[in-house]
Amino acid sequence: MNVKNNIIKPILFTLLAMLFLLVAIFSIMHFFFPLNVSNWFYGVGANKAATYYMERSYEKTKDYNQLYSLVNLSIKSEDWERVEKYYEIFSENENYTTFTLKVDASNLTKKVSNLVKSTLYSEDNYLKNRYVLALTKQGKIEKAYNYAVANSALVVSNDDLGIYAYSYLFTDGVSFENLNNFEDFCNSLTSYFNANIQLFNSVTNGEQPQKVAGLVLGSRINEIAKNLKAIKNYNANLINLTNEEINNLVLAVSQAMPELV
C-alpha cells in the first residue's frame, strides 16, 4: 500500500482546494461586499480593518449612514486623519443636524443609566469633541481652537446646556501660542466654569433635583476644571483661580454626584 499516494496526497489536495475556495470567497467579499467584511471585522474587534473596509464601502455607495459608521470606526481605531477627513464631510452635509438628533432620540430609548446619558449628552457634542481631539493629535492646535470657539458659546442655562468643544484641546504639553484672543477666552472660560457651578447647585438642591441635568453639568465641570489647570500649567497668569480653588469646587460637585445616580 502506497501511503503517500493513497492518503497524504488526497489530504493535501483537499487542503489546497479549501484554501483556494477561501481565497476566492474572500476576494469576492473584498471587491463586492466590503460592508459585510467591515461588519465582520468589527464583530471580532479588528477596528482598523473594519475602518478600511467601511471606507471602501462608503466610497462605492456614498451612503450617509455608512459615512457615520466610518467616522465612528475611525474614532475607535484612533485613525485621526480619517476622523478629520470624514467628520468634515459628515458634518457639512445638510442632513447632519437631523441625523444627530435621531441618534439622540434612539439613545433615549435604550436602557442606559442617567450617568451614561450624561456622559454622552448628545451625539453632536460627542462628535465635535472627537473631531477636536483628532486635530490636536495631529498637532493642528490653531485649527482645533478656532473650531471649538466657533462651536462653543460658553453660555449655560437650565434649558440648553449647549456644546462644549474644548474637552480634548487644553491638555498638558500643548502649546497655545498664536491663538486668537486667547487671554479673553481664558477669562470667559473661568466665568463659564463658575456659571456651571452655580447652575449645578441650582438644579441639584431642593426637594426634586434634576438628576440628568445635574449629572451632565457635573461631568462638564470636571472637564472644564481639567482644561483650566492645563492652561494654568502653561501660563499661571491666564486663569485667576488657584488650583486649590478649582479642586475644592470640583470636590464639592463630585461629593454631590452619587446622590443623582
pLDDT of residue 34: 66
Considering the domain boundaries, does residue 228 fall inside one? yes
Considering the domain boundaries, does residue 129 fall inside one? yes
pLDDT of residue 72: 95
pLDDT of residue 112: 54
pLDDT of residue 176: 86
Considering the domain boundaries, does residue 217 fall inside one? yes
In this structure, the chain runs to a length of 261
Per-residue pLDDT reduced to its tens digit, 4-54:
555 665 655 555 545 544 444 444 444 445 678 787 887 787 889 889 889
Residue that has been written with the C-alpha cell 450624561 in this structure = 118
Considering the domain boundaries, does residue 5 fall inside one? no
Q: Could you tell me which of 184, 129, 7 has the C-alpha nearest to residue 192?
A: 184
Q: How many structural domains are present in the chain?
A: 1
pLDDT of residue 185: 96
Considering the domain boundaries, does residue 166 fall inside one? yes
Considering the domain boundaries, does residue 69 fall inside one? no
- State if pTM tops 0.85: no
Considering the domain boundaries, does residue 52 fall inside one? no
pLDDT < 50 positions in the chain: 1, 17, 20-32, 113-120
pLDDT of residue 12: 53
Q: The C-alpha cell of 69 is what?
A: 459608521
Domain extent at residue 256? 114-261
Considering the domain boundaries, does residue 68 fall inside one? no
pLDDT of residue 131: 97
